[in-house]
Structure 1
Amino acid sequence: MGRAEERRARQRGGHRAAPRRRSSRAADGSGKSGIRRLFTWKKMLGTFLGLCLLGIGSFIVLYLMVDVPAGNAAAQRQSNVYKYGDGTILARKGEVNREIVDLSKVPKKVQLTFVAAENKTFYKDSGVDFKGTARGLLNTLSGKGKQGGSTITQQYVKNYYLNQDQTVTRKLKELVISLKVDRQKSKDDILAGYINTSYYGRNAYGIQAAAQAYYRVDAQDLKVEQGAYLAALLQAPSQYDWAVASETGKKLVKERWNYVLDNMVEEGWLDRTERAAMKFPVPDDPKGAPGLDGQKGYLVDLANKQLEQQLMDQEGLTQSQAESAVVDQGWTITLNIDKKKQTELERAVKSELTGKLDAKKRKVDGNVQAGAVSVDPGTGAIVALYGGADYYKHYLSNATRRDYQPASTFKPVILAAALENKAETQDGKQIDANTVYDGTSRHQVVDSGSKVGFAPPNEDNRSYGDITVQTAMNKSVNSVFAQMGVDVGMDKVMSTAKELGMDTKNMQAVPAQTLGSMGASPLEMAGIYATLNNHGKKVTPSIVKSAEKRNRTVEMPDPIGDQVISRTAADTVTSVLTGVVDDGTAKTSVADNPLRNGQQVAGKTGTSDENKSAWFTGYTPDLVTSVGLFGEEARTGKHTTLMGATGLIPGSGRINGGGYPAEIWAAYTFGVTDKAKFDLDTTQGAAVKPTNTPSYTPPTSQPPSQTPSSAPPTSQSPSRTPSQTPTSETPSQTPTSQQPPSPSDTPTDPAADSSPNPADQQ
């Protein structure tokens, strides 16, 4: 720069810039001075504080976003416990062996064993062990697997609200939910949830199942030392199960047991002297939970259905909702089943029937199904039930199935309808036990002088001429009751059937129903006859005595209902039915049975045509039992004949209602009851002496016709609907000789204009 330039610069007040120096570090960008400027202590502190604030903010957001969820389905599913009427356990049913109990049912010191084992600060902490959780998170991130240290609250949250996944997301949720649960629930609620959801080994979930699995007692009866063992188990259930533990495992669980009790002493929860006296409580050997084999499954299934129905009626639930509310939901259901009677019924079926069946020798023997229901008529309690050979072998209960004809066991309903409605014969005479009817086989049924197109035959087409209603019941004469049904009015007959307890939906009120051609179950028939035995007061058989779930008790309906027919009508039917036993189709098997000890018995036999079903429903003053035998093709389930079963002579070897069903009934009933006399309010029937001699003569304007008006029998549909073939009946069979013909009830199919539609007999 020249002088002139310098002068001009001074005049401007400026200075000539000094030439810049070039730095080799600036050129390559690797100088240490830049790093020092980036990682100053101020910046590092600021970054740390920023991360802390970010973490706190993120946690606050997480806390606000994560709600306490509903309990997971697996944690809520429990076993239902079913008990006999005397309180002993019948069965435990559930995918998860768990029965939740209130904390009040667990002794206080037993509660404290779990606190001493898992979380001594439980009653003081906020529900979270931050150090343990942080350690667990770091181990999860580093791949080191599970990490202990969780509080009881956290373990409860994991069991009940979340799952066992070892992920960062799950652990963070566990932390947040635990804090919220600790604020929302009491410590007692949390402890109760913990001991009820934890797994104890031996397929036992919850302290009640564990108490039963290891010590055969309820949780409320656990001793402190036993509770300490169960608390110790939670650390390693399989390893610490005394029955299968190695010597090392036994040593470890003993150490854990001592640790629990010593902690209790340290915390002041257990007296030192009491502790010193305690010995290690070796648990019982494992025992499989009661299953549903044999008859148990049938009993449990009916109990569930009746409880579900009550929830539907009380709470307006749908069938699906009711089932979900009952099955495996922790109910304790006490049944009305009498243990002794149940055993005796099973024994009677075996001794009188199933012990004589040999499917390898006779194919038909494999098609014989038996069902029975026994009811106390005074209470409506189902005291015994037989559903089939075994629940696992024949799932469908023969006690409740409705796809077979009750046959002549329906005849008492017709008489009850006649008496209740004060019905009259065609010539205006009131119907009672002494009324005389035409017992001619295939007698044309008439109504107001006109044929109705129905003329059922009697058994073996036998005609009886003029006989009383009492005799017609004794000998089960079809032609008499077919005419009586029309005299009463079939609409009134079906109405009475409904009042007595039969499900008559979709049943047509046609003369063919007088032959018992609808479908019915032993349960229904037991209810109908129990109502008759209960002097006309409705009996709806109930298997459920009580149903409880934690603090909830379901009020079951009273099995005894209103008066549905008059006492005189009901008692008259009972009186008439004593004649069936003492002088009719059940005489050999029941009246003359050597086990009988003077008891009065009323009952009715029934045998369907083609011998697809055979029945005896009978009662003493204090017990009603309906027994049914059904022919069911073992492989396909189609209805088939019972003919020839147990070696009875083919062609004549029919299994009749007066045979095996009545024999089962007698072997059972006479073994469990000895109440002798009915208390009857009637002057009619076989149980009382008639006051006069019947003099009524039936009308002769309609001569009996020997030409049947019915169509020939049709074959059985393979579907489970009652057979539309006619019903029949003969007295008891013997397997060694052909039986002579005897009075009974074999109808033909009704004519087309009066035949029930098969679809209407479900």
Structure 2
Amino acid sequence: MGRAEERRARQRGGRRAAPKRSSGAAGSAPAGSASVGSAPVGGRAAARGRAAKGGKKGKSEKSWIRRLFTWKKIVGTLFGMVLLVMGAFVVLYVMTPIPSANADAQVQSNIYKYSDGSILARSGRLNRENVDLAEVPEGVRRTFVAAENKTFYDDNGIDLRGTARGILNTLSGKGAQGGSTITQQYVKNYYLTQNQTVTRKLKELVISLKLDRKKSKDYILAGYINTSYYGRGAYGIQAAAQAYYRKDAKDLTVPEGAYLAALLQAPNQYDWAIATDTGRKLVQNRWNYVLDNMVGMKWLDASKRQAMTFPKPKAPKAAPGMQGQTGYLIDAANKALYKQLVAQGTASSIGDAEALVTKGGWTITVNIDKKKQAQLEQAVKDQLTSKLNAKKRSVDGDVQAGAASVDPKTGRVLALYGGVDYFKHYINNATRRDYQPASTFKPLILAAAMDQEAKTQDGRAIDANTIYSGKNRRPVEGSSIGFAPPNEDEVSYGDITVQTAMNKSVNSVFAQMGVDVGMENVLKVAKSLGMDTEGLQAVPAQTLGTMGASPLEMAGVYATLDNHGKKVTPAILKSAEHKDHPVTLPNPIGAQVITKEAADTVTSVLTGVVDDGTAKQSVANNPDRDGQQVAGKTGTSDGNKSAWFTGYTPNLVTSVGLFGEGAKPPHKQVTLTGATGLIRSPGRINGGGYPAQIWAAYTFGVMGKVTKFDLDTTQGAAVKPSVSATVSQSASSSPSSTPSNEATTSPPPKTTTPPASPSITPPPTTSAPVTTAPVSPPASPSNTPKNPLNPNDQQ
């Protein structure tokens, strides 16, 4: 084969060249012919080419990817990107000067207005007083380094890893991030803003590097402790020392300094005076962390550290102009604004939001109605505080009142009572959540039963007419957790309807109903109605309202019932305006969270509590009622540490709570029993007493024209029954106290076939047949007969 033929053979056969001919075969066959048993060279190459043709496309694609993504190209690209970032950073470093102090550092005031635009209050001057670092004890200075930046004296002012993490989380919308050095935090406080943007973070990085090169570490540390926000309106360590320990910064001890250093992580959450139990545990853990770091850094002797005890701060003092209810209103408005600033991304945390608001420049309008606010204050004074005399009875000094009033159609908070005086009692009783709502939780159990179409243990529907056993300390059935709650005053009731059980607030009935519905479902519905159920265990004991709640929270829950099951979130803010920080407030009226029929049935049932139950004397018989239709529920917690009445008309929902709080530190929860000189046994303050009296004096004083509920239900006390219902005496035991009598406005009990014993008078035959829920009849302590209606009753 000549060179030309070889070239052609190679072209035909792909990459492999045709093999050379042996000299012995040269001329034995003409070109292009084949010997017997062999294929021509060109033919073999062509065959291989044809065989490879099918996979050529896939191989070419793979080779294209390999050519595009070679290791050299990948490394080169990454290297180029690094150079680009470094170049951009160099340009940013050169072009970014250390600026003057940010505009927000200038002293400004906030203006607070009532809903009608009239002035409620103006905030005072910014509480800041700078001190030289030399005036702060060395040990106190070191607590801040140990808390925030252990490498402060050795680093170059930045934490690249923490900053990168912060930028990535800002881009992904995850909010506040830690990891900044003391230098970076000082730069953010003094030169920049609290806004969470990538641009701000990059500027913070550059300025921190420059500042660290130009200024000493002592200069930066002094700036940091003098510009940081510590809560209680205090900027800087001097103001903080006065706010928390009533002393100058120069007189602070190391344990006190460690507390102030710990505060900076979450000043609102860690303020001992208003912190929850969880908040107090967290700040104590943080305090221990700071001191342990100081031991590890050889700044504190281990034996001295061991001897240190947590320095509880003093109670806060109210600012001028905050006396009376004003401070409580501003406190509630500010906290609502903090949450909204975080929710919309203007601030990264509640602490940052608090600092942003405290710096001033805001015009904040609240939904508070000036006339209703005055009426609520007067009602508390007339019905309660005028009767308290702590000098005569020490228990009177332990009584705290809180109340909140909401428009169920708009969600606006129209009035709020936080305590006797913001100067005298710093905690806002209208928003505190550390007391049990007790039996005011019972309507939520019924709401869950109606909304979930729940059934009794033997499969019968639960509604207002369902019959339960009202036996005292009756063990619940169907729960793996044993629970047999006492009724108030240990009274045993007969077989009673749910309506009567609500009127009389019978614990045993609602404990069983909670199990029938499923406590998980009860808590789910409670959350949808507006209760904070975070962390609550789904156990039968929750049916007694053993969780914490605030009057404002309960007003929102009942407002949702009043609003036919459409969610109402109480809104104290009408508007919040700032030239640099626009705020968009959410709609207080939300979606349908339970069915209209379920909500309206609960409302109908709750009218019975007012007309024939525990609120009858204070509300139904009030001479100022003038025929106004009212629904509501009383509540009295275990040990009489709290007493409630939450009630509503079609246009107004108000929750009133009384709380037993020790007048002297540590202000523990104490009983209300005996307050105002109540000596008649048992001397207890019930929800149907002062709370209901305050509610009636306020509501009937501001209600305007008489209104009626527009209800989508055929059940409950608000619906006139077609027949009267009675329960025979044989269905009740002989209790130690006066047994309940079926209310005349209660609907007839549901029954298909009257039982043999105990007997329940059935409705006339003209009534439609309905089913009966299982009951266990009460009995005297000496004899507990079996219930023929409940085969599971083994007593």
Give TM-score, length-normalised by structure 1. Answer: 0.57
Equivalent positions of 1:27-66 (< 5 A) are: none
2-structure distance, mates of 1:655, 1:666 = 16
Q: Name the CA shift for 1:311/1:463 in 2 (closer, same or farther; >3 Å).
A: same
Residue deviations 1:187-216 (CA, integer Å, cap 9, x gap): xxxxxxxxxxxxxxxxxxxxxxxxxxxxxx
Aligned partner letter, 1:547: A
Aligned partner letter, 1:366: G
2:462·2:773 contact (CA, 8 Å) conserved in 1?
no
Equivalent positions of 1:115-514 (< 5 A) are: 291-315=321-345, 317-447=348-478, 452-514=481-543
1:532·1:573 contact (CA, 8 Å) conserved in 2?
yes
1-structure distance, mates of 2:480, 2:720 = 36
Aligned partner letter, 1:628: G
Residue deviations 1:292-316 (CA, integer Å, cap 9, x gap): 1111111111111111111111116
Aligned partner letter, 2:513: M
Which residue, 743, 750, 774 being the options, matches 1:695?
750
1:304·1:327 contact (CA, 8 Å) conserved in 2?
no
Question: Which ranges of structure 1 fall in alignment gaps of 5 or more residues?
Answer: 1-63, 99-159, 162-288, 709-762
Structure 1 residue 551, shift from structure 2 partner: 6.4
2-structure distance, mates of 1:428, 1:312 = 47
2-structure distance, mates of 1:679, 1:84 = 31
SS at match of 1:91: strand
2:468·2:773 contact (CA, 8 Å) conserved in 1?
no
SS at match of 1:486: helix
Which residue, 595, 605, 617 being the options, matches 1:566?
595
2-structure distance, mates of 1:429, 1:75 = 66
2-structure distance, mates of 1:421, 1:414 = 10
Structure 1 residue 94, shift from structure 2 partner: 3.4
Larger displacement relative to structure 2 (547-556 or 432-441) = 547-556
Residue deviations 1:42-62 (CA, integer Å, cap 9, x gap): xxxxxxxxxxxxxxxxxxxxx
1-structure distance, mates of 2:659, 2:515 = 29
Q: Name the CA shift for 1:393/1:691 in 2 (closer, same or farther; >3 Å).
A: same
Q: Residue in 1 aligned with 2:693?
A: 663
Structure 1 residue 71, shift from structure 2 partner: 3.4
2-structure distance, mates of 1:518, 1:69 = 51
Aligned partner letter, 1:328: K
Structure 1 residue 318, shift from structure 2 partner: 1.4
Q: Name the CA shift for 1:507/1:451 in 2 (closer, same or farther; >3 Å).
A: closer
1:417·1:496 contact (CA, 8 Å) conserved in 2?
yes
Rg comparison, structure with higher value? 1
Residue deviations 1:309-339 (CA, integer Å, cap 9, x gap): 1111111621221112212321100000000
Q: Name the CA shift for 1:478/1:429 in 2 (closer, same or farther; >3 Å).
A: same
SS at match of 2:582: strand
Structure 1 residue 650, shift from structure 2 partner: 6.3
Aligned partner letter, 1:345: L
SS at match of 2:688: coil
Q: What percent identity do the matched residue pairs reach?
A: 70
SS at match of 2:591: strand
Q: Residue in 1 aligned with 2:116?
A: 86
1:474·1:579 contact (CA, 8 Å) conserved in 2?
yes
- Structure 1 runs of 4+ with >4 Å offset: 64-68, 72-75, 697-708
1:672 aligns with 2:702: yes
Structure 1 residue 673, shift from structure 2 partner: 0.6
Aligned partner letter, 1:322: A
2:364·2:575 contact (CA, 8 Å) conserved in 1?
yes
Which residue, 674, 688, 713 being the options, matches 1:644?
674
Structure 1 residue 705, shift from structure 2 partner: 8.3
Residue deviations 1:139-164 (CA, integer Å, cap 9, x gap): xxxxxxxxxxxxxxxxxxxxx99xxx
Structure 1 residue 72, shift from structure 2 partner: 4.9
1:578 aligns with 2:633: no
Structure 1 residue 576, shift from structure 2 partner: 0.3
1:485·1:511 contact (CA, 8 Å) conserved in 2?
yes
Structure 1 residue 346, shift from structure 2 partner: 0.2
Structure 1 residue 418, shift from structure 2 partner: 0.1
Structure 1 residue 66, shift from structure 2 partner: 11
Aligned partner letter, 1:578: T
Q: Residue in 2 aligned with 1:76?
A: 106
1:402·1:521 contact (CA, 8 Å) conserved in 2?
yes
Aligned partner letter, 1:457: P
Q: Residue in 1 aligned with 2:180?
A: none
SS at match of 2:122: strand
1:419·1:569 contact (CA, 8 Å) conserved in 2?
yes
2-structure distance, mates of 1:656, 1:700 = 31
Aligned partner letter, 1:335: V
2-structure distance, mates of 1:420, 1:360 = 50
Q: Name the CA shift for 1:578/1:345 in 2 (closer, same or farther; >3 Å).
A: same
Structure 1 residue 553, shift from structure 2 partner: 3.5
Q: Name the CA shift for 1:328/1:594 in 2 (closer, same or farther; >3 Å).
A: farther
Q: Name the CA shift for 1:72/1:311 in 2 (closer, same or farther; >3 Å).
A: closer
Structure 1 residue 691, shift from structure 2 partner: 5.0
2-structure distance, mates of 1:66, 1:532 = 57
SS at match of 1:553: coil
Q: Residue in 2 aligned with 1:606?
A: 635
1:517 aligns with 2:572: no
Q: Residue in 1 aligned with 2:302?
A: none
The number of aligned residues is: 455
Structure 1 residue 706, shift from structure 2 partner: 7.8
Residue deviations 1:711-741 (CA, integer Å, cap 9, x gap): xxxxxxxxxxxxxxxxxxxxxxxxxxxxxxx
1:444·1:451 contact (CA, 8 Å) conserved in 2?
no
Structure 1 residue 690, shift from structure 2 partner: 3.1
Q: Residue in 1 aligned with 2:563?
A: 534
1:613·1:631 contact (CA, 8 Å) conserved in 2?
yes
Structure 1 residue 695, shift from structure 2 partner: 3.4
Give TM-score, length-normalised by structure 2. Answer: 0.55
Which residue, 713, 727, 733 being the options, matches 1:682?
713
Q: Residue in 2 aligned with 1:241?
A: none
1:588 aligns with 2:617: yes
SS at match of 2:607: helix
Question: Which ranges of structure 2 fall in alignment gaps of 5 or more residues?
Answer: 1-93, 129-189, 192-318, 724-747, 756-771, 783-795
Q: Name the CA shift for 1:467/1:89 in 2 (closer, same or farther; >3 Å).
A: same
SS at match of 1:467: strand
2-structure distance, mates of 1:66, 1:406 = 56
Q: Name the CA shift for 1:591/1:92 in 2 (closer, same or farther; >3 Å).
A: same
Q: Name the CA shift for 1:702/1:65 in 2 (closer, same or farther; >3 Å).
A: closer
SS at match of 2:400: strand
2-structure distance, mates of 1:340, 1:384 = 9
Higher RCO (CA-CA < 8 Å; seq separation 6+)? 1
Structure 1 residue 474, shift from structure 2 partner: 0.4
Structure 1 residue 478, shift from structure 2 partner: 0.5
SS at match of 2:654: strand
2:457·2:774 contact (CA, 8 Å) conserved in 1?
no
2-structure distance, mates of 1:75, 1:383 = 34
SS at match of 2:534: coil
Which residue, 641, 647, 655 being the options, matches 1:618?
647
1-structure distance, mates of 2:684, 2:693 = 15
Aligned partner letter, 1:330: G
1:578·1:603 contact (CA, 8 Å) conserved in 2?
yes
Aligned partner letter, 2:367: N
Structure 1 residue 486, shift from structure 2 partner: 0.3
2-structure distance, mates of 1:404, 1:97 = 33
